[in-house]
Amino acid sequence: MALTRYAVKRLLGILPLLFLLSLLSFSIIHLAPGSPASTLLGEKAFDPAAVQALEERLGLDQPLPLQYLSWLSRVLSGDLGQSIGLKPGYPVIQLLGERVFPTLALSVSSLLLALLIAVPLGVTSALKPHSFFDRFFSFLAFAEFSLPNFWLAMMLILVFSVSLNWLPSSGMADPRLASFSWPDFFAHLLLPMVVLALGEAAALTRYVRGSMLEVLQQEFIRTAKAKGLPSHVVFYKHALRNALLPLLTLLGYSIPGLLSGAVLTETVFGWPGMGRLAVNAVFSRDYPVLMAEVLLFGFLTLIGNLVADILYACADPRIRYEQP
């Protein structure tokens, strides 16, 4: 079937990129000043016995390609090494694991909120181009592009947390609470989610508007009107469906931007996610954690693109049912 062929083709296309990504990650520890062994051992680097033990365990005395293979096999079996700066000795994979849910929760919820804002705004703008509504929100979106999101975050904290005291200003949960509570979680999630969502919504609105306007110029809209279909049918069933189709791909490709934006927002809000972990790792020169983060970010980006492309192929019959 055309769809499976397409999916397989895309998957195969990703493999060289995954390979490059792994090379990139692998090279980090070797680019760091000093030998990998001394970097990983930290204080014990002056103990020759410890150095030798480590070298044997990780095969650091072997030629690079072999080292790469043994590293790769460790990674694929889940061993991402141990943290050296942030939490010495702690397995990196566990460290990452604790941070995945917060970042995921933040990213997904902000994306949903962004869609909720962008689609109605974009569609309404396209219905009456160059009207006051359209120009006002286009201007707002434009201004939002220029707004540094970490500053916006701080201003929101100033208003909602400091002045009005409605919402907490940092962290993911109130430390005074004994166990996890959903309302508390959402109270903490709200501000960071809004900050991220506003940023994404700005780009999405312009995109939806443009896509909608383009679709409305197409011939088949004229046919639909010529059939005497009511305006709402023409608009929603014919125009909107076609206009939102490319949005799927756009969402997938916005994942790297989402993750990058999350780094700054997580820092402002003290949100315990992967972004903040990466920043802390840089400060502590915790290379194993950095390597794992690079792998994870890159992997998520590639997978995101892949899933977006496949979803699009599913949704667009022109690709799903290719001409024989």
Partner 1 sequence: MKQVPLLSVKGLSVEFPGLPLQAVRRVSFDVHENECMGLVGESGSGKTVTALAILGLLDPSARITSGEIFFAGEDLRTLPETRRQKIRGHQLAMVFQEPLTAFNPVLSVGEQLSEPLLYHRGLSPWEARQEVLSLLEAVHMPRPRQVFQAFPHQLSGGMRQKAMIAMALSCKPKLLIADEPTSALDVTVQAEILSLLASLRRQFDLSVLFISHDLGIVSRHCSRVAVLRQGEIVEQGKTQTVFSKPRHPYTRALLEAVLR
Partner 2 sequence: MSNPDALHYFLGNRLAVCGLALLCLLYLLAGFTFLNDALGHAVVPDPDELRITEKSVLFRETSRRAACALDGSALLAEFPVLSDALAVPGKAFPLPFAGFRLLRQRLAAIGLENLESVNSFVQRFEVVHENKVFELVLFSSENQPPSPTHLFGSDEFGRDVFARVLYASRISLSVGFLAVVIALSLGVLLGCLAGYYGGFLDSVIMRLADVWMSLPGMMLLLTFVALTGANLASTILLIGVLSWPSPARLVRAEVLSLRQREFVEAAKAIGCTQTQIIFRHILPNALAPIIVQATLFLAGAILLESGLSFLGLGVQPPTASWGNMLSNGLSYLRTSPWQAFFPGFMLFLTVLSFNFVAEGLREALDPKRRRGP
Q: Is the Cβ of residue 122 or residue 304 nearer to partner 2 in the bound state? A: 304
- Residue 91, φ and ψ in degrees, nearest 5: -65, 135
For partner 2, which is the closer residue by CB, 70 or 284?
Answer: 284
Are the CB atoms for 99 and 277 separated by under 8 Å? yes
Distance CA 59, CA 194 (A): 47
**Could you tell me the CA-to-CA distances from 311 to 117, 126, 250 in Å, in that order?**
22, 25, 11
Residue 279 touches which of partner 2, partner 1, none (Cβ within 5-8 Å per kind): partner 2
CB of 226: closest distance to partner 1 in angstroms? Answer: 5
Pattern 168-187, binding to partner 2, x per CB under 8 A?
Answer: -x------------------
Give the ranges where the chain is alpha helix by DSSP (H): 2-31, 36-41, 48-58, 64-76, 92-127, 132-146, 149-156, 182-216, 219-226, 231-232, 241-253, 255-269, 274-283, 287-315, 317-320
Q: How far apart are the first and last CA of the chain?
A: 10
Does residue 242 touch partner 2 according to CB under 8 A?
no
Answer yes or no whether residue 259 interacts with partner 2 by CB under 8 A.
Answer: yes
Residue 317 CB, nearest approach to partner 1 (Å) = 4
| Cα–Cα distance for residue pair 261/13, rounded to 1 Å | 27
Examine residue 298 and tell whether it contacts partner 2 (CB under 8 A). Answer: yes
Q: Which stretch binds partner 2 (CB under 8 A): 73-81, 141-149, 196-204, 235-243?
A: 141-149
What is the CB-side half-sphere exposure of residue 26 using CA atoms within 13 A? 20
Closest separation between CB of residue 228 and partner 2, Å? 29
Q: Interacting stretch for partner 2, rule CB under 8 A, among 87-95, 180-188, 208-216, 263-271?
A: 263-271
248 belongs to the binding site for partner 2 (CB under 8 A): no
Q: Which does 116 bind (CB under 5 to 8 A by kind): partner 2, partner 1, none?
A: none
CA distance 134 to 143: 14
Whether the CB-CB separation of 266 and 318 falls below 8 Å is answered with: no
# of chain residues touching partner 2 (CB under 8 A)? 43
Part of the chain binding partner 2 (CB under 8 A), chosen from 31-39, 60-68, 196-204, 238-246: 31-39
From 111, 154, 106, 153, select the one nearest 273 (Cα to Cα): 106
100 part of the interface to partner 2, by CB under 8 A: no
Q: Nearest 10 degrees: CA dihedral of 33, 35, 41, 45?
A: -100
Residues at the contact surface with partner 2, assessed by CB under 8 A: 17, 20, 28, 31-33, 130, 142-143, 145-148, 150-151, 154-155, 157-158, 162, 169, 256, 259-260, 263-264, 267-268, 278-279, 281-283, 285, 287, 290, 293-294, 297-298, 301-302, 305
